Structure formats: C-alpha cells, structure tokens
Structure 1
Amino acid sequence: MDMYEYEISRIPRVKIPCSHPLVSWWLMHTGSGDPHEYLPCDGCGDTEGNAIYCKICKFRAHFECIIQPDIINHPCHSKHPLKKVLAETIDYTDGNCHFCRSPLDEVMYHCSICNISIDLSCWIYPPPLTIYQPKSHNHTFTLMARKDSFTCNACGLVGDRNPYVCLECDFMLHKDCIDLPRVININRHDHRISRTYHLGQGDWECGVCRKQIDWTFGGYSCKRCPSYAVHSKCATRGDVWEGEELEDEPEEEEIEDPYKVIDEKEILHFSHEHNLRLGDDNAADNEKCHACVFPINSDPFYQCVQCKFLLHKVCATLPRKKRNILHNHKLDLQIQGKPGEVF
C-alpha cells in the first residue's frame, strides 16, 4: 500500500531526534535481496517513498510519520515561539507561508504577535540563515527575516520580505536570485549572454520583453554585442533559456559560412554541388527559389552555371545555425530530400 493511502491515525509517529539540517530523501532498497541493506522509515518501517534524512544521525522518516510538536522555536523567527494551529482558525493571514510563499496547508505554525505563518515544509527545511561563498558573489549573504520591501540588486524587481543581504556591498537579493546562472544561451540571441550586477549607464532595452532595463541593477549582457541586454527574470524564463549553465563550458565553435566566395559574382553554396553565379535581372521571373520556394520575381538571385538551381541572394546568405523563439536550442539549416531541393 502506498504510504499516502494510510489513514493519519494509523501511521506510527516518530520525533525528530536532532537539530541538524535535514534533506529530502527517497527511501529505497538496494535490490541485492539482503534485508539488512534496506533503508526503512524510522517511523513506519516502510522502505519506499519520499522522506526526510539527517546525514549526521542517519535518521530518516516519511513526512507523515514525524511527530509535529505543538510549539516550535524556528531559527528564522527567534523572537517568539510558533504554535501549531489549523489554518481555518486564523482568518487574518494572507494564506501563504511567510518564507516559501506556498499556500498554507491545513496545519501550520503561527506567531500571533508578528502575524507570521509557516508551512510544515519550512519547519522541516528552514531557509538558511547565511549562504557562504555563493557562486554569484564574493561575500556571504545573510537572511533578513522580516516583512520589509526591498529592490533586488540582481533582477531589479521589488520584493516584500526576507531579502538576503551582503553587508559589505549593500546588496539585497531574492533567495532565488542568488544562484542565477552566470553564462547561458537564450533563444532570442545567437551568442552567449553573461550575468552582471551592473549593466552600466545606458539606454538599455530588454531583448526579450522589449521594456526598459534599469541599468543600476543587474541583468544579462552579450560580450559580442555591446548594446544587447536582457532582464534577469526574462533571460531565465522556461520558454527562453535552454536550462543549462555554461560557465566553464567551451564556447561552441562557429560553423563555417553557408558559401565560399569564388569571385565578386560567383559563390559555391553548401546546398549545391556546382558554382552559383549572380543572375541577370528578369532572367528568372517565372522560376522559384529552391530554398524558400517563392518566385524569384525581381529579387537578386544566384543561379547554377550548369543546371536550373536558383537561390534568392538573401536565402543564400542564411546562416547554417540559428536560434528561434519557438525552440530553446539552435536550429540547423538542412537540405530536405536530395541536394538542390528545399531547405
């Protein structure tokens, strides 16, 4: 039976035996057949399911198997103890956990003096009070656990509580912005972009949302294109960023040009085996381009010196690789079917 199907009253309860940091853990057996190698829950004894784990004490238990004390002292709210209450009995909260901002469950911990509520997850996994040697910064960040409005130095957006602060730099950041990737690819630009805390003075426009960027805050910029920048939140959207951190990864080699220049009017294009020569005006009005399949009309074009292959001049210069907003990875320019048909 799945652990989530237990009735609450039937689940054996166990007390967390320590105050060490806990991590999420998946209970499982090794598959060797040796029952002594199973890793059971210290509460119900089951060997499967999502659990919490103390790496120091080797304590492990399903979330549902933990005894929830009536009163707790939370490290991020040391002023007063928090009392376990039913959410329906408190009608003056905003309905979200003070720290993770997730909707509160039926049971929560609450400080009536400060009107602070936290969910069970933030009781088990409290936010870190300090973040040492973050990848994005040279100094330690310290949690300021209070309901104070601030502007995040990384993304430029306003937060309403719990900033992480660098006292040496007078920086305030959202927790989620501390670990923003340093170097990424996005589907709106052909080059890598890098994160910076200061874009520098200028009239910056976001390459994704096209809105103004406040240059006094952070963002992403392109080293090859000095005028290109993107908001931090826009650059890391799921429909924009491919999801990979590229810092310390070798730069992708530039693919060769789509054609080689023979002379000022003649090229050798990768899609065709013969040389292409710049065509005469109106010589192919009734013909179609083998790339875009639109009529040549009066547009500049190249034609094969040995066969009827034609390309608009603009189609001949299309790059071999290109990024597009419809897909997070680079697209390859390919020939469909036999060489000399459509790409």
Structure 2
Amino acid sequence: MMKVIEHEHPLKLVDLQVNVEDVDDESDDEEEKEEVLVPQDEFSCTCKRCGEDINEYYRYYYKCIHDSCDFTLHKFCAELPKTLNHPSHQHPLTLHAVGGALYICYNCWFAKDVNCFMEVDKRRIYHPSHPHPLVSLSSKPILCECAACGKEHKGVFFHCTACTNFAIHNDCAFLPKRLLIQNTTNAIFSHTHPLTLSYSFPPEEQRAKYYPRCRVCDGNFDYMGNLWIYKCEKCIYYAHLDCATSRRESFMSILSIGGGPTVKNYKDADYPNLLHLPFPDETCSIPKHLFSKELGLADYGNHEVSLPHMNRQHELILVDTGSIGSTSSKINDMIMCHNPMKKIELLCSGCVRPIMEMPFYKCAANEDKSCNFALHEWCTRLPTKADNHPGHPQHPLVLMTNIPNMFNIFHCGVCRLPCNGFAYGCVACGFYVDVTCGFMPERITHESHPNHLLSIVKEDLPSGRRCLMCRLSIHFDNIRGTGYKLSFGCSFYDVYIHPWCALLLPKTVRHPYDKHPMHISYLPIENHKSEYFCEICEEELDPHSCFYHCDECSQSVHSDCAPLILQCETETYSRFHKLFGYGKGVYLFLNMKFGSIHKTDGHPHPLTFAQGIESDGECSVCAEELQFKMILRCSECEFAVHHDCLENLNKS
C-alpha cells in the first residue's frame, strides 16, 4: 500500500501484464473459456499527477483501494521523492501536489512541472514481447531494423538496454492486441473473428499448422519464427503485421498490379466462350461443355460421329427414360446411372467421367458380361481430330478409341494420369492425351483466383513455384519422374494451377460418407473447431491444399480421395501418397475404368481388371506387392497379377 499527499485513501499497486495463464479458466463452457483467453481491449486511464495516459506498456500503476474511486497514478509518478536536489536549481525542491503536481522552491518560489523530471521514466516501457524494459533513447528518428516486423524503418525506436540487438519501431510497439482485418483493409480481406497479435510464430507451430501462408499477400512467414504476426488459430488464419494493419496499404499495392483478384481485369464481351472453372459437379466436363446438344459451342460446329466409327464388336443401344419401362428388370439393373450415394458406378468409356444422366449409349450384348462399354451421348460427337493442341502443336491429334496395347492404357501428355478411355494421339511421336485434356482451353477463369484470366503457360518456370490448388510443385511430375511445361498462369500474379487440378476437380462432389454435397475449399474453413482429417482414408489433411468439405457435418476429404467408391474407399491414393512420399492432388486412377473382364491363355479363369488392394497380396508373376497398382484378379482362385506383367507374359 502507498499513501500520497493529494489523496485520502491508500493506493495499491496493479500489474497490467498478468499472464493469461494466471486467469481462472475453470469454466465448463468452451466458448466462454476461449473468450477469457483472448486479450481484451487495451487498458487506459489518466494519471492524476502528470495528466497523461496510463497504459499496459508502463506495466505498473497505482489505484485507490476503493473500487468506486477512480484515482490513479503512474508508478513512477506515485514514487516521486517528496524533496529532491536538481542541477537546474540551487535550492532543494519540494513536491507540491495540490491542483497539479509541481516541484517548488519555497525560498525563491521557483516551480517546475513534474513532467520535466520524468522524461527517462516516460520513455521506458515494459513490453510483453520482451523480458527486459525497453527505452526510447532519442526522440529523433533513426534508421534501424525492427525486431517485430523484420523490416527497416526510419523513426523512433525502443531499445533493450540488456540486449544490444533488440529494437522495435514505435508503430509496432503499440499495435492493437486484437483487430478485425476487414476494418483495417477496407473490407478487401475479411475474417469473422478478431485476429490476435502474437509475438512469435515458432517453426514447430508452423509445422503443426502445415506451414501456412499469409492470407493477404500469400507470402511465407519468417522461418525462424521470431517475427510478430496476427493470427486466429481457430481458423488457421495468419497474416503479416503490415498486411493485417495495412500500415503501408499492402493490399492497395496488390490492387494496383492490374486490378488485383477483387477487380475484374477482362471484359466478358471480349471472351464470349470463356470457361469458368471449376465445373459445378461431376456431371460436367469439357466434352459435355463443347459437344452436348444443349451446351455445345457453335465454334465447334455439328460433329456427328456415327456409332460404327467407334469400332465396337457389339452394337450400341441408346438408353433413355423412355426405354426403361419396356425393358426387363434384368436390363433395368444394368442401365442405372452412376450414383456414388448408392455405390453404383457407371463410367463413360470415352471420357472416363461418370454417366449420371440419360440418354447414354451402352453395349447391347447384355449376355456378355465381359463388356462394360458405355458412352455419354455427347461423346459420340467427338471430332475425329484436334488441331494445334498446345502440348503438341506440330501435328494434328487423331481420335483413337483404342491404343495399340493389350489393355488400351496410355499416360496423358498433359495430366500425366494413366487412362484407358478414348485418346487424341499422334502415333508417329507417341503423344497421347485423354479427351478432356485434348480440348484444353487457351484461357480459363478459376474461383481459386477469381476475376483474373489464367492462360496456358508453356515455358519452364523458376523452381519453387507451386500450384495454387494442391500446393505441389507446378512443373515436375513426381509420379512419372518427367518434367513437363503446361500449366495455367496469371499474367499479373505469380499464380499457377495444374491443368488437372483446374479441369478435373469439380466444385461439388457426392460421396456415401456424407449425405450432403461436399464443396471444394482452397483454404481452411472459417470457425472449424476440430482438427482436419480425411473421412475416407482417415489420414491427416492439409487445409491449405484444396479439399472437399461439408459445412453442415464439418467433414472433410482429400481431393484425391473424393471420387473413390466401392472397394477403393479404404485403399485410397492418399494412403499411397503417405506410404511412398509423392502425390498429385487428384486420384491417380481418375481416368481409369476398372471392371472389364479378360480371358487369357495364361490362366484358365476370366480375370477382372481392378485396382490392387492389400488383400490381393503379391503378383503371381513377379512376386511384388499388388496394392495401389492396376491388376487383374481372378474371382475363382487366388491368382492375381500386375496388368503389365500379364501383358509381357502374353507377348512372350
């Protein structure tokens, strides 16, 4: 307790920097507990002696022991000596604190304001970011690097007298503990919760949060983790100091580079056929967009392709709603459309996308279960060739319904995925693309980088560039071990997207693991309280890479697990990624149609073409694992073999 001459009650000392860990947080209400631990608005009151503000950076202050009394003093004001000798005057000075604090010489009635004797104390602060007091050594601006933001400033700095290399700029020292980012960036960047000032971002915390990037500038954070940031851990939302506060209007500099992602940089009239991605759902695709009678673009004309052109050994029949009532129940079962909610799979043999609506074409030989051939109605009108493909402009690509190998499998020259659907190919050069990549547009827009045109980029890019969606390297195919050049890029930003991420990942998917449509997300979900893990493979999920999420159930799945159904649900490509250390962002076998039945001289029973699972064990030919590989499996015995092992066996 302390007594001062101008106040009748004793004063008690208050520490304004009590650790939040000392707060009683025994509340059972999780939301209430979280609010307790969030720093409240900064404390401020007025010193009754010097008339200046008291704030937490002075750390200690005195207040009246009676809560109803608002008498407060700075600690250094309250502890001023009653008398002092000062070189500015020859006589002792006495503290006079009635009607304002003064030091007075009663011999010659010399008086001086107490503020004149406390300049050093008022330039000293106790900042919660540092264990030692900080002092502003001069009121004149100096050029120095700030330990808070890591940038060089010219201005007033607070230095640590114990640590010779620690100084923080005046603007950083008094940043608000909490802020709403939309208020500081003119609502350009928004977040529903206040962001909290954090005085470090340790490497282990960055690692635990999947190395997040600044939500404003998309830049990295200090690897050493010593710089301050604003964050909301509930939403995994992090921002640099300058970006969150726009002290130098960092978001305005973004907008000045050709309009920024919030301002459209093209006119719709100039691009009437522009493809806006992602597609709404799995029923949509580039072939449907171009060649369906309802949606097809006039630029491509009327490309009617006769069904005999498909070179099928069996007749194809048109399945539509009018044919269902006249068919037997046996055939009825065979013409059900693809429905992941009922675990029914029906894939087009041309584009290898789900057939989710009628009409479509199907093999008429119902008695021959070895044939699972089916076609979208629009895939019967695919053009016979594609000219000037960006991946192979030197030769036209010809439509091929069968690739010259045993299982009709090729690796697409754009997306690098294995495919056994139709191809556009140049046999002379050995270049093939699937029918989706065969009509890869020159320009697109994508909601992950809205309002800016993304154009095909053919040249090599500097190392370190990553896909905006999957966050994997933009120009190296880890699966095939082969470099490639095609990507979609923004001419105003260092932003790139893999062609397969843009063209093959729809906006919504349906999956039997969730009764609601799951929507694609490119960033962590706002107010998501639990950890992120995939509902299908039950492995961890990086929320900074695109993934599918159900807002109602708060469930998430990897983008490369989302299309899986039937036996592949528990044998996912994400597990493959985890085991073997490389990934692609989309399901490895997205362009593969399994289920066909093959007869071979090397085995007495029919073999089913499938994805290998753990229970398949080892290959009967090479004795290597079959899991995650394309295999042929016998349903009558334990024979199973890699597809290429069987192909090589037949060749020999």
Between Structure 1 and Structure 2, which shows a larger proportion of helix residues? 2
Please give the range of the TM-score, normalised by the shorter of the 2 chains.
0.3 to 0.5
After TM superposition, the score normalised by the length of structure 1 is 0.38
Bigger CA radius of gyration: 2
TM, length-normalised to structure 2:
0.22
